[in-house]
Amino acid sequence: MSEDGDHGGDEPTLSDRIDGFLAALREWAAGLYHGLVTHPAYEKIEKAAEDAEDTFMLACFPDAFGIPSPVSYYTAELLPYLESEFEAWERRMWDRGSMLERKGEQYHF
């Protein structure tokens, strides 16, 4: 009785240990699944979103790259609302060595 009591205080029961093990396993599995499957997928979708946004920005402000545009007069009025996009876009555009490089960014070796 006293022996049992001592053990009960120091050492978890078998079912507790199994629960703990499963919890760790679940966390690992979730992490692994997120790392291998969901994260790359979301990353890909987000990259695609950025690409679509880049096309939008390029259509709006081709003169940023020296291409005259007859509509930049109208698209200029969008600029105040495109603050964060504009900077990120410029950075992405200057950075983008090639399409391959851009598409390759999502594979983490």
Q: Which residues bind other proteins (CB under 8 A)?
A: 38, 42-43, 45-46, 48-50, 52-53, 55-56, 59-61, 63-64, 68-83, 86-87, 90
Find the helix or strand (DSSP H, E) in which 5 lies: helix 2-10
Closer residue to other proteins in complex, CB, 21/42 = 42
19 or 87: CB nearest other proteins: 87
Nearer to other proteins, 17 or 96 (CB): 96
Nearest approach in angstroms of CB 105 to other proteins is 15
CB of 91 to other proteins, least distance (A): 11
Sign, Cα dihedral of 53, 71, 83, 64? positive
Cβ atoms of residues 105 and 47 within 8 Å: yes
Closest to 89 in 3D by CA, of 32, 50, 44: 50
| Tokens of residue 91, six digits | 């950075």
